[in-house]
Structure 1
Amino acid sequence: MWIAIAALNLTFAVILGAFGAHGLKSFATPEQLAWWHTATDYFFYHALGLLALGIMAKTLPRLPIKFSFICLQIGIFLFCGSLYLMSIGIPRIFGAITPIGGAFMILGWLVLAWNAFRYPK
C-alpha cells in the first residue's frame, strides 16, 4: 500500500510539473511560476521520500514508518497544495498554510530519524 501511494504522488508530481511548464506560462507571473516550481520540486522530493519509506517498510518491517509517512503526506498536501493554489491566483492567504506543511515534512523526517535510532536492525 505504501509504495502504491508513493507512486500516485509521483504521478501527480509529474502531471503538475508538466502543467506548470506548459499550461501556466501564458497567464502566470514570474512569481507565480516560481511558487509552482518550488511546489513541484518539494512534491517530487517528498514523494520519493514516501517511496523510500514504502521500500523500507518491506525490507525493514520492524522500523515503524506509518507516522512519518502520514506526516510527509500531510506536508505535501499543505505545503505544495498552498503554493499551487497561490500560483493559480487563489488569494495569498493560503501562504499562511505553507509553513504548517513544511513543519509536517520536518516532523516526518525527524520521526523517521528517531525511529531509525530506536530500531537499528
Structure 2
Amino acid sequence: MTRLSTLLFAVAIPVAFAAPAIAQEGKTLGTVVNGNTTTIFMAADTSDLDMQKLQVWSDFASQHPDIARALAYKPSLIDNEGYAKNHPELGDFFSAHPDIREAMTENPGNFVAIPPRPGE
C-alpha cells in the first residue's frame, strides 16, 4: 500500500504544479519530470512574430535544407560573409530580403531550430 501511495503522490505533485501552466494560453507540447523538477514545453506565442517573414524563410529553408540545418546549429553563420559567398543562394536570399537577415540576426531562434535527432 505504501508503494501505491508514493506512486500516487509522485504523479499528483507534478500535475498540481503543471495545472497553472496548462491554464495559460498556448498548447502544452509535453512534460518532463526529473526528480523534483517538472519541465513543461508549451507552444510559442506567435503574436509577436512576423509570419510573412517566417513563411518566406520557411520556403527558402525547405528548398535548401543543408543551409537551414547549418544555420540552426551555428546561427553566427547568418552574418558570416564567407559562408554567404560559399552559398550564393543564401547570399542572394539575404540580398533580396535584408529585413529577414536583420530579424534572424536579432532572434535566430525565431527562424531556425535544431531539428531533433532520431529517437528524440
Q: Which has the larger strand fraction?
A: 2
TM over 0.5: no
Q: Which has the larger helix fraction?
A: 1
The two structures have a TM-score, normalised by structure 1, of 0.25
Larger Rg belongs to: 2
